[in-house]
């Protein structure tokens, strides 16, 4: 009773693309059909309406400061900039703290309880406080991205540092390496795969936090844009914005994965 019974021969080859393409086409078809049946164009737009909305958003003027880029790309640029700043801060502070906690036992006992105390609070629960502290716009968004990305980066860095093989630090010491050389020439490179995994998780959560922050505490960015068209009942433009959020998130993930493969080339071989 295998699935092959009813899949035509041409789809059984090495090439998985035909089937994957069909999957997407089928999804669009069902969407289109469901939207036509529902017949509520304001609330449930068809794919074609979304594409049209995308086109309109590309040419309508962008938010203040980036009018030239158009509404969609302008808001994308604003969101991207926030994520780049927030994520970079999280990467630097998270990796540094993770190295310290993961390498020295005393530092671990001193810092880890606080980290464990704050970690279970979902980043989104910080939104009210972020708005109280930083107002609207760039700063609270950056703060939330930093907060969301920080913890997975710290935890994964700690994990990587702690699992540095004992044999490798021993052999480095017998070869004459001092404590700092052991840390930077053995500990950190050995933790690199784990650190990269933390960065990958961090950027995903950071992107999520950004959209949440823009939904409530901002008057620009992709999150703000989809919330704005909710208030004007233009669902097609909201969905177009959602699509963009998905695409940017996907591209960031791919970019980081490429970077990871380049840094960790020695693992694959």
What distance in Å separates the CA atoms of residue 23 and residue 7, rounded to the nearest whole number?
A: 13
The reply on whether position 262 binds another protein by CB under 8 A is no
The reply on whether position 108 binds another protein by CB under 8 A is no
Stretch that binds another protein, among 57-65, 114-122, 160-168, 236-244 (CB under 8 A): 160-168
Task: Choose which of 38, 43, 121, 175 interacts with another protein (CB under 8 A).
Answer: 175
Stretch that binds another protein, among 23-31, 122-130, 136-144, 261-269 (CB under 8 A): 261-269
Binding mask 190-209 for another protein (x = CB under 8 A): x-x-----------------
Nearer to another protein, 101 or 182 (CB): 182
Task: Choose which of 170, 250, 255, 259 interacts with another protein (CB under 8 A).
Answer: 170
Burial call 55-66: b when 16+ CB within 10 Å, e when fewer: eebeeeebbeeb
What distance in Å separates the CA atoms of residue 251 and residue 86, rounded to the nearest whole number?
A: 17
Q: To which residue do tokens 């993930």 refer? A: 253
Supply 251's token pair: 């591209």
Supply 194's token pair: 């784990």
Nearer to another protein, 164 or 218 (CB): 164
Supply 239's token pair: 């969905």
C-beta of 173: minimal distance to another protein in Å?
4
The reply on whether position 189 binds another protein by CB under 8 A is yes
Task: Answer left, alpha or beta for residue 7, where phi above 0 means left and psi between -120 and 50 means alpha.
Answer: beta
Non-local CB neighbours of 212 within 8 Å, separated by 6+ positions: 123, 124, 127, 144, 223
Residues 40-99 that bind another protein (CB under 8 A): none
Task: Answer left, alpha or beta for residue 65, where phi above 0 means left and psi between -120 and 50 means alpha.
Answer: left
Task: Choose which of 85, 115, 136, 172 interacts with another protein (CB under 8 A).
Answer: 172
The reply on whether position 178 binds another protein by CB under 8 A is yes
Name the residues that contact another protein, by CB under 8 A: 165, 167-168, 170-178, 181, 185-186, 189-190, 192, 266-269
């Amino acid at each position: 009773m295998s699935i092959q019974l009813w899949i035509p021969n041409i789809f059984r080859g090495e090439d998985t693309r035909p089937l994957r393409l069909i999957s997407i086409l089928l999804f669009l078809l069902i969407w289109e059909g469901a939207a036509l049946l529902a017949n509520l164009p304001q609330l449930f737009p068809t794919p074609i309406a979304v594409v049209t909305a995308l086109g309109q958003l590309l040419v309508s003027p962008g938010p203040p400061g980036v009018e030239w880029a158009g509404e969609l790309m302008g808001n994308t640029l604003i969101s991207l900039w926030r994520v780049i700043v927030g994520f970079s801060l999280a990467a630097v502070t998270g990796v540094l703290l993770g190295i310290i906690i993961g390498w020295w036992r005393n530092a671990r006992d001193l810092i880890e309880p606080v980290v464990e105390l704050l970690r279970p609070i979902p980043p989104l629960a910080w939104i009210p406080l972020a708005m109280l502290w930083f107002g609207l716009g760039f700063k609270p968004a950056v703060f939330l991205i930093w907060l969301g990305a920080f913890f997975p980066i710290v935890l994964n860095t700690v994990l990587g540092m702690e699992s540095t093989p004992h044999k490798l630090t021993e052999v480095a010491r017998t070869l004459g390496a001092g404590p700092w050389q052991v840390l930077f020439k053995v500990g950190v490179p050995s933790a690199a795969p784990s650190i990269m995994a933390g960065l990958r998780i961090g950027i995903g959560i950071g992107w999520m936090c950004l959209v949440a922050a823009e939904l409530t505490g901002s008057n620009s960015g992709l999150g703000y844009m989809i919330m704005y068209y909710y208030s004007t009942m233009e669902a097609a433009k909201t969905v177009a914005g959602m699509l963009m959020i998905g695409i940017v998130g996907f591209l960031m993930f791919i970019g980081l994965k490429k970077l990871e493969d380049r840094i960790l080339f020695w693992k694959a071989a």
